[in-house]
C-alpha cells in the first residue's frame, strides 16, 4: 500500500511539473500564440467543426427531419457512386487534370524562382515579381471570361489559328484541347504566386557556399546544380507531398465555367459532379459521400507518399 501511495504521489508531482512547464512555455511565447490564434480559430471553425456533417454520407438526409432524425442507409450512397455509369469517366478526368497540373504546373514556380534568383538588378527583379504575382489575385470568372473571349469563333487566338491553316478548329469545343487549355490557365494564374515559398527557401542559403564554389571555378549552372537544388529539395518534397494530398481537388469555378456540352466527357470532375448530381438535385447525402470519398483518396495518397519518401530520403512530413 505504501508503494502504491508513493507511486501515485510521484505521478501527481510529475503531472504538476509538466503542467507548470507547459504553462510557463505558453506564457513566455504568449504573443506568438496570440498571433496564431486567428488562424487556429479559422481552421477550427471551417475545417474541424464541419466534420460533423460527414454523417450525412451514411444517411438519407431530410432537411426537415435534421441530421439527428434522418434515416441511416449505411454505405448505400457509396455503392450508388461506384455503380454510376459516369463514375469512371469522372475519376479519369479528375486524375488526368490533376496529373497534368502535377507534371507541368508544379515545376513552373521552381523554374521561375531559380530564374529570378539569378537576377542581380533588384529593381528589375521586384518589377518582374510584382507582374507575375498579379494573376493570382484575378478571379477564375475573369480569367475564364477572357479565355472564352479570345478563343470563341471571333476571338484573336481563333483567328490566328485559322490564319495558320487550321480553319476547322473550334478551340472551346475540341475535346483534345480542353485539358491543355485548363492546364495553361492554371500555370499562368498560379506560377508566379507559387514562387514565394521557393524564393524564401533560396534566401536562406548561405552566400558563403556560392563564394566557395566560385573560388573553386564553378560556373552558374554548376552552382545551381550543386548548391541551389539540394537546398531546395526539402521544400520541393514537402510541397509535393501536400500537393498529392489534394490531387482529387480541382478548381470548381474554372471547370464549371470552361465546361460546355461539347466537352462534357472530358470536363466533368468530382467537384462539378457533386454540384450537379448532389446540390442541384437536392441529394445532399450523395454529395457528402462523394466528398468523403475524395478525402479518403487524398488521405491514402499523402500517407503512402510520405511513407515512401521517408523510406527513400530524409525529407518527409511526419
> pLDDT tens for residues 60-85?
888 888 888 888 888 888 998 888 88
Residue 10 has pLDDT above 70, yes or no: no
Distance CA 271, CA 145 (A): 20
What is the rounded distance in angstroms from the CA atom of residue 84 to the CA atom of residue 167?
Answer: 38
Average pLDDT over residues 246-270: 89
pLDDT digits over 179-237, tens only?
Answer: 999 999 999 999 988 898 899 888 888 888 888 988 888 888 888 888 988 888 888 88
User: Considering only 14-18, 179-183, 280-284, which range has the smallest mean pLDDT?
Assistant: 14-18
- 260 pLDDT more than 80: yes
**pLDDT over threshold 70, residue 294:** yes
**Spatial distance between the Cα atoms of 189 and 199, rounded to a whole number of angstroms:** 18
Tell me how far apart the alpha carbons of residues 304 and 292 are, in angstroms, rounded to a whole number: 18
Q: What percent of the chain is modeled with pLDDT above 70? A: 96
Q: Which of 57, 53, 91 is nearest to 248 (CA)?
A: 91
Residue 11 pLDDT class (50, 70, 90 cuts): low
Sequence length of the chain is: 318
pLDDT computed for residue 6 by the predictor:
54
Q: Provide the terminal-to-terminal Cα distance of the chain, rounded to the nearest Å.
A: 43
What pLDDT is attached to residue 9? 56
The band of 141, judged by pLDDT with boundaries at 50, 70 and 90, is very high
Pairwise pLDDT comparison (316 vs 142), residue with the higher score: 142
pLDDT at 118: 85
Neighbours of 69 (CB within 10 A): 9
Rounded to whole angstroms, how far apart are CA atoms 79 and 266? Answer: 23
Is 274 a residue whose pLDDT tops 90? no
pLDDT at residue 8 in the model: 54
Q: Report the mean per-residue pLDDT for the chain.
A: 86
Name which of 106, 109, 104, 101 is nearest 129 in CA terms. 109
- 82 Cβ contact list (under 8 Å, min separation 6): none
Which comes out higher in pLDDT, residue 313 or 301? 301
pLDDT at 1 over 80: no
Query: Is residue 3 pLDDT above 70, yes or no?
Result: no
pTM for the model stands at: 0.82
Say how far apart CA 165 and CA 174 lie, in whole Å: 17
DSSP SS3 for 60: strand
For residues 296, 302, 304, 310, the Cα torsion angle rounded to the nearest 10 degrees is: -160
Amino acid at each position: 500500500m505504501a508503494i502504491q501511495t508513493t507511486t501515485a504521489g510521484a505521478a501527481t508531482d510529475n503531472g504538476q511539473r509538466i503542467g507548470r512547464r507547459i504553462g510557463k512555455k505558453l506564457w513566455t511565447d504568449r504573443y506568438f500564440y496570440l498571433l496564431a490564434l486567428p488562424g487556429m480559430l479559422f481552421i477550427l471553425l471551417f475545417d474541424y467543426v464541419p466534420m460533423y456533417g460527414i454523417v450525412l454520407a451514411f444517411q438519407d438526409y431530410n432537411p426537415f427531419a435534421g441530421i439527428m432524425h434522418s434515416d441511416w442507409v449505411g454505405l448505400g450512397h457509396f455503392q450508388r457512386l461506384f455503380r454510376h455509369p459516369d463514375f469512371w469517366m469522372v475519376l479519369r478526368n479528375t486524375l488526368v487534370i490533376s496529373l497534368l497540373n502535377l507534371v507541368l504546373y508544379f515545376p513552373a514556380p521552381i523554374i521561375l524562382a531559380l530564374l529570378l534568383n539569378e537576377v542581380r538588378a533588384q529593381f528589375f527583379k521586384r518589377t518582374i515579381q510584382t507582374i507575375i504575382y498579379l494573376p493570382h489575385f484575378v478571379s477564375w470568372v475573369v480569367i475564364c471570361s477572357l479565355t472564352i473571349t479570345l478563343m470563341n469563333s471571333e476571338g484573336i487566338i481563333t483567328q490566328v489559328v485559322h490564319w495558320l491553316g487550321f480553319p476547322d478548329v473550334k478551340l472551346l469545343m475540341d475535346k483534345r484541347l480542353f485539358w491543355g487549355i485548363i492546364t495553361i490557365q492554371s500555370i499562368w494564374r498560379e506560377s508566379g504566386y507559387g514562387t514565394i515559398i521557393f524564393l524564401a527557401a533560396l534566401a536562406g542559403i548561405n552566400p558563403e557556399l556560392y563564394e566557395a564554389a566560385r573560388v573553386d571555378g564553378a560556373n552558374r549552372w554548376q552552382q545551381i546544380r550543386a548548391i541551389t537544388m539540394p537546398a531546395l529539395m526539402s521544400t520541393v518534397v514537402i510541397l509535393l507531398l501536400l500537393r498529392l494530398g489534394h490531387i482529387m481537388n480541382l478548381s470548381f469555378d474554372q471547370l464549371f465555367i470552361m465546361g460546355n456540352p461539347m466537352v462534357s466527357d472530358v470536363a466533368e470532375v468530382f467537384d462539378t459532379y457533386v454540384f450537379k448530381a448532389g446540390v442541384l438535385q437536392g441529394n445532399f447525402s450523395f454529395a457528402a459521400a462523394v466528398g468523403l470519398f475524395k478525402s479518403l483518396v487524398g488521405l491514402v495518397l499523402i500517407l503512402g507518399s510520405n511513407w515512401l519518401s521517408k523510406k527513400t530520403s530524409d525529407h518527409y512530413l511526419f
